[in-house]
Copies of this chain bind each other. A is one copy, B any other.
Amino acid sequence: MFLFYRRPVLKRDLLVCEEFFVAKRKVCVLGATGTVGQRFLSLLENHPWFEVVEITASERSAGRRYEEAANWILPGEVPEYVKKMEISPTNPEIVEGVDILFSALPSDVARKVEMKFASKGMVVSSNASANRMELDVPLVIPEVNPDHLSLIDIQKKKRDMDGFVVTNPNCTTIPLAMVLKPLNDVFGVAEVFVASMQAVSGAGLPGVASLNIFDNVIPWISGEEEKVEKETLKLLGKVGSEGAEPAGFKIATSCNRVPTIDGHLECVFVRLEREVNLSEVGKILRNFRGEPQDLKLPMAPENPIIVREEVDRPQTRMDRDAGKGMSVSVGRIRKGVDEKSIRLVLLGHNTIRGAAGAALLNAELVVAKSMV
């Protein structure tokens, strides 16, 4: 249980690596039987900093062994460490002895319990949408807006809690915001149009009925477009004295479900505030780095953005696992309708970088910054 690891620490702007002899953080996965819950358990197998000591699910599954209760849909088998683990009910009164909770809860359940867990002093790294747009809750992609973690102080004070809730965005928002961030920093983003082609794993389990999606495209996903638009503006906005303040550019999305298993592909049209050179765009995206790379967080990919030169990439099945599912692939960078506008295609793994991996990276950032 105890182990050495090298923790990178920022000391007066210097990155220092120190070797520690420490315990892993004890973590719990809330909503462990769903598709995102399964990804959490899979990614947490042999995680260097975290040890799963508890898992929860709905009342229907509580008390059962994980391997019996879960409809496991990832290739291969339920990880050995969790097969026989007994599922607890998702109840803040019951869960004890845990440092960090990873929430893969449905939104309505998350709304009821996440703040209660935080009130008991625990840190909740949530993939649920329930608290994302709260003014005092940080909505974070570590490469994009790690400074938003400063909202935690506001949150704790305002709600009089020892713990806190940190959230990651929706699976479609994350790769989009990662690509818009460096473009906004350099050129200024004026207007964005996005059409997404989203995989069925994004809908969870039982999710999309095969009869509804075989040989079909469904051009609507409940609540998705609103989430992507609002969350993108919050992510690229600032932290004010009262809380998060959204960015001011225009954005319109059109979200589609397509018959793929994993991976959300997005066709993006961006109008910038000044004229751009396409090779400059490629260079800026390729060179984009953030704190996870500086801090060498365990889940951090070497390249947050991989720029592909082939005319027909990124492709969903071929590129979704890039950077172990934590990199965003970008391709087809080309002119839009005028000198100030561009088109590109981007792709992210929706249950890794877009969900469980996102929440893990947020938790790693919080640990590396000694906030838990």
| Interface set of A (CB-CB < 8 Å, partner B) | 35, 71, 73, 75-76, 191, 193, 195, 197, 200-201, 205-220, 250-252, 254, 256, 258-261, 263, 265, 267, 269, 311-322, 331-332, 336-338, 341, 343, 345
Contacts and interface: CB of A to CB of B under 8 A. Distances in A.
B71 A260 contact: no
Contact of A259 (B218, B259, B321, B336): B259
A67 to B, nearest CB: 10
B210 A73 contact: no
Contacts of A200: 210-211, 214
Contacts of A337: 191, 193, 250-252
Given A73-B211, A209-B209, A216-B316, A267 B256 contact: yes
B197 A265 contact: no
A201 B207 contact: no
A195 B254 contact: yes
25 contacts: A35-B211, A73-B211, A75-B318, A75-B319, A75-B321, A76-B318, A193-B193, A195-B254, A195-B267, A197-B217, A197-B256, A206-B206, A207-B209, A208-B211, A210-B214, A214-B259, A215-B260, A215-B261, A216-B315, A217-B316, A219-B312, A219-B313, A250-B338, A252-B343, A259-B260
A205 B215 contact: no
A261 B211 contact: yes
A318 B341 CA distance: 35
Contacts of A315: 216-219
A206 B343 CA distance: 30
A346 to B, nearest CB: 9
B269 A193 contact: yes
A254 B343 contact: yes
A193 to B, nearest CB: 5
Q: Which of A75, A212, A269, A338 is packed against the most chain B CB atoms within 10 Å?
A: A212
A253 to B, nearest CB: 9
A336 B200 CA distance: 26
Nearest to A335: B252
Given A207-B211, A208-B210, A219 B269 contact: no
Contacts of A219: 265, 267, 312-315, 331-332, 345
| 4 residue pairs, one from A and one from B, having the closest CB atoms | A195-B195, A254-B267, A250-B337, A195-B267
Contacts of A35: 211
Contacts of A314: 219
Contact of A252 (B76, B207, B258, B336): B336
Contacts of A193: 193, 269, 337
Given A206-B206, A343-B254, A316 B269 contact: no
A355 to B, nearest CB: 14
B261 A214 contact: yes
